A and B are shown apart, each in its own frame.
Chain A
Amino acid sequence: MRSDRSASAPLGLKIAAIGGLAFLHIPILLIFLYAFTTEEKSYQFPPPGLTLQWFAVTWNRPDVWAALTLSVKVATIATAIALVLGTLCAAAVSQTRFFGRETISLLVILPIALPGIITGIALRSAFSFADIPFSFWTIVLGHATFCIVVVYNNAVARFRRVSGSLIEASMDLGADGFQTFRHIILPNIGTALLAGGMLAFALSFDEVIVTTFTGGQQSTLPIWMLEELIRPRQRPVTNVVAMVVMLVTFLPILAAYYLTRDGDQIAGAGK
């Protein structure tokens, strides 16, 4: 097939592309718009009037703060667990050869391929079976299962590019395992870990299904939003929260994208 870069695309294709993008993003803009509406019981278009009062109302709602704090805590701790375990696992799989290596690689990735509802049910029955009460920590564990995958995938790709002889060279020059990790491995995989960590954080932050199955009485932010949609009162508060969630998750993902892109260039330059 021939592709001519200078030629302009046909009009029909342009319209289709614009239509597709509009379909993806206009609903999101509408969410933003209704954060400012004066009508609190239903979403009517156009909004009868615009107001900033919902920001103040949201600010003063303790349930919003509780849900937000919980979500941030869960995402932070799940990401931290994932960073440690995911990195260790990636190091083992990419730097050494042992029996069952491919199997372990597959088993680590499996949780993200499984539908969340299966992970959720499995964890829930396992927790009940082991008599572990549902709490903050069961949510964290549930989230860590898929956060590890994201970190692992990022780290394993980068580990493959850190040649084994770099580690041997470091040891040869007198660095023990810890010094080698700190001075050689970490700088080379650092951006991959940051990217993986940010993706893991964002995934955990808007997770609903696993949380429903592993949470106790606590509501993380997405759960709180689901509950809020059913209630007819102060609807625009949900929209305000949605805007905040978008910012909180979008910025790290954007940063992760730029960081890994730079990382590729740095790692490639040495070869």
Chain B
Amino acid sequence: MNKAYRFIKARDNVMRGIFLFCAVFSVMALGCICVFLFAEGLPFIGKVGPANFFGTTWHLDSAAYGILSMIVASLYVTALSTAIGVTAGLFTAISLYKFCPPKAVPPIRQMINLLAGIPSVIFGLFGLIIIVPFLRDVISPNGMGYGILAASLVLSVMILPTIVSVSLDALNAVPKNYFEGAIALGATKEQSVFKVMLPAAKSGVLAAVVLSIGRAIGETMAVIMVIGNSPVMPTSLFQSVRTMTANIALGATELSGDAATALVATGVVLFFFTLLLNLSISLLRGGGGRERKGA
């Protein structure tokens, strides 16, 4: 075996090691995130007691760290924004799929992809300067613009591009001969789309829903700017409340000691919700990896 060959062989092995390290980095990063969060947050929940932590009162001066009202607010906002966003987004995707001049579809898609990249803080700003005053002056029964409705409207617009793209991809992935078969059996174009193609794309549409739930529950900046941020139990759509994400971001630069640790513990609860959602996404996708094209 000559020297040059041995060098090449060694170089290949070293590179493989380096690439392996890069790939394992993600696993290590995820591990670190879990360890740091749980090691800091879980003992805190144990220390103040679950009854306190999952209680309804958040009052730092009397060491009451109850985040139940924030969990409830987060769930309300997520449910409402997903309901609005999915309804609008799914119908938009259907319309782009068959009920739209074919020439108009690529530019519209491109525009929607572009909009998917807009920073969440811009949506928050839009909510702050347009939606909140509008709700306050026109719709609200109690003169309050901030609240769950404002946050849900902002978020539903924010998650629209994701829902449209993913559901449209799901519809496009349904074999074309399903559609042709339905037409051949005498169905109208509309019947074929709604009764054949849409049910066939069900799992992809469901993935879009789960994805947007994840974005909505984890969104911070767009929510914090329009929801009012009072740590009280939500009873109305027009009432200043606080979500888990807002609780973390608000206290971040001000609190210290136990109060700061309470924010970490709030993060643990949020992280737990996200892991659940991730799990359901991988179940929906059947855990399949990317396949090599043309092989």
Task: Decide if A and B are genuine partners.
Answer: no
